[in-house]
Amino acid sequence: MILALIWGFSFLAMRIALDEIGPFNVVFHRVLWAMLVLWGAVLLTRQRLPNAPAIWIAFLVMGLLNNIIPFGLIAWGQQYIETGLASIINASTAIWGVFVAALLLPDERLTRRKLAGVLIGFAGVVCAVGVNALRAFDITSLGQLAIVASSLSYALAGVWARKRLQGLSPVVAAAGMLTGSTLIALPLAVFAEGGIAFDLTARTWGALMYVSLIATALAYLLYYRVLAVAGSGNVMLVTLLLVPVAIIAGAVVLGETLQPSAYAGFALLALGLLVLDGRVWTKKALAKPAPRR
């Protein structure tokens, strides 16, 4: 629940920061300060640092797939769509994760239940984006598709981590990934937006510190903790729990309203994730009385 609250409010914080700076500046500040915090955690816990060049190259690719591309696409897309809608489309990350893993990892089979969950989830994405938005293609439609693409990038990052970052401490892996992200984000912000902005209002700094220190550095530590003690199924459901937080935050602070199709899309996404999770149906099967002999 704490992780869902943190990530739910991150959409609002990013939207606030975008009022003053561009998306690449938002990404740079988000990864820079989070990187410094996580390296501090690595030093305090005296964890062993990797020295193989292949690991650092893997960190660079992971930073691109898990931070630069999705953070950049979400920030850019949020300039044109509502905060709540961005969070709904982002909830498809787990759907994409199962689908991409089944395509690229030999030990991840797409069972009938998983296939049903993926198809229902994809139907939810189409419903949330809206068929009319795809017919009358404009900048709003492009913003929605940018969030969809960010979810696909997260899924590819998950596969990359499985293949290249196995056996590393989660904190070291996160710090290394954010280091790679910072190295990529700096020239992007300079080239695309003319430099790094530091002369910012207190409101913008507050939003940036939230998405960096709380929604990235602290959230990564919480994420790996939940993953260790509760498993991947519960982590996947966080993507559902954060959506109401983001919708309420956008409505209260920014006065946003969403179309009914967005809520219908979220309902389908939620159903798809529950089907993928499988525990509801497993519990029902276990609750059935044994047949009389």
- Per DSSP, the residues of 233-279 read HHHHHHHHHHHHHHHHHHHHHH-----HHHHHHHHHHHHHHHHHH-H
Which long-range contacts link 260-266 to residues 24+ away (Cβ below 8 Å)?
Answer: 261/127, 261/128, 261/130, 262/84, 262/85, 262/88, 262/128, 264/127, 264/128, 265/88, 265/124, 265/125, 265/126, 265/127, 265/128, 265/129, 266/88, 266/91, 266/124, 266/128
Give the pLDDT confidence of 102-114 residue by residue, as tens digits: 999 988 888 899 9
CA 191 to chain centre: 25
Element (H, E) at 52: none
- What percentage of the chain reaches a pLDDT higher than 90? 73
pLDDT at 227: 79
3-state helix, strand and coil shares in percent for the chain, rounded to the nearest 5: 80, 0, 20
Whether 202 has a pLDDT exceeding 50, the answer reads yes
Q: How far is CA 130 from CA 47, 65, 85, 137, in A?
A: 48, 27, 11, 11
Mean of all residue pLDDT scores within the chain: 90
Least confident of 12-26, 203-217, 225-239: 225-239
pTM: 0.91
Average pLDDT for 69-81: 96
Give the pLDDT confidence of 251-290 residue by residue, as tens digits: 999 999 998 999 999 999 999 988 988 765 555 544 555 4
Whether 123 has a pLDDT exceeding 80, the answer reads yes
Reading the block at residue 88, the tokens are: 């709904």
CB 13 within 8 Å of CB 199? no
Give the pLDDT band (50/70/90) at residue 292: very low
Sign for the CA dihedral angle at 128, 133, 137, 140 comes to negative
Query: Which range is most confident: 12-21, 219-228, 229-238, 250-259?
Result: 12-21
Q: How far apart are CA 246 and CA 214, in angstroms?
A: 15
Give the pLDDT confidence of 140-194 residue by residue, as tens digits: 889 999 999 999 999 999 999 988 998 899 999 999 999 999 999 999 999 999 9
Q: How far apart are CA 71 and CA 18, in angstroms?
A: 12
